[in-house]
Amino acid sequence: MIHVYFIRHGQTQWNCEKRLQGRTDIPLNDVGKTQISAYQLPEHLLTMPWFNSPLLRAQQTAELLGVNSQVEVALIEMNWGDWEGNTLQQLSSQDPIDFAKQEALGLDLRPAGGESPRLVAERVSDWVEALDITKVEQRIGCVSHKGIIRAIYACATNWNMLGKPPHKLDYHCAQHFCFEGGRWSIVELNIPL
């Protein structure tokens, strides 16, 4: 059994502009740095092993959190392919029919050249499953992205990403999931930081 705590990176300029960042390596903006610097991680979170996405915004967040974190490629944001750098409004205006078809796929939405949330969840699950577990129960922290957290959340709740999710996630909080026997479950959502 592995307990995994996810924290999303701080704000970037593209977050403000509502652009799909994906793999584009955007740094934190000043607001993002201030947000993360204000977080107070509980002691038990500070002392466990931490991993972060290789993207700069996640690395900067890990540094500001004061955790000793290792880069993990599996935690990189969802690849938005041809959609990257655009807003949802732009995409909907450019090709409303294709956009609607993609949205209707929910968990299997996959822009040209990109990956689906289902593939993201499989990538992260494979990595967690392959971790060398020396204890019966282990706890790790991950500094990652909204796309990663939503994909894991969808697995944990059997949400197909169509319609509203069963819970409202606060991305300024930690999200605590458990991975056991190839399955994700929710332990605690929206843990204040």
pLDDT in tens, 98-133: 999 999 999 999 999 999 999 999 999 999 999 866
Known catalytic membership, residue 137 = no
With a CB cutoff of 8 Å and minimum separation 6, the contacts of 3 are 137, 138, 139, 140, 176, 177, 178, 187
- Residue 105 is classified by DSSP as T
The pLDDT of residue 120: 98
pTM comes to 0.95
Best CA proximity match to 53, nearest among 70, 29, 33, 32: 70
Cβ pair 151, 120 in contact under 8 A: yes
Q: 51 - beta bridge partners?
A: 70, 142
Q: Which of the residues 44, 72, 77, 172 is marked catalytic?
A: 77
Low-confidence ranges of the chain (pLDDT < 70): 132-137
Catalytic residue among 9, 72, 84, 115: 9
109-113 contacts: CB < 8 A, separation 24 or more? Answer: 109/161, 110/81, 111/80, 111/81, 111/82, 111/83, 112/81, 112/82, 113/79, 113/81, 113/82
pLDDT at 112: 95
Task: Tokens for 124, please give them.
Answer: 């992260």
Is 43 an active-site residue?
no
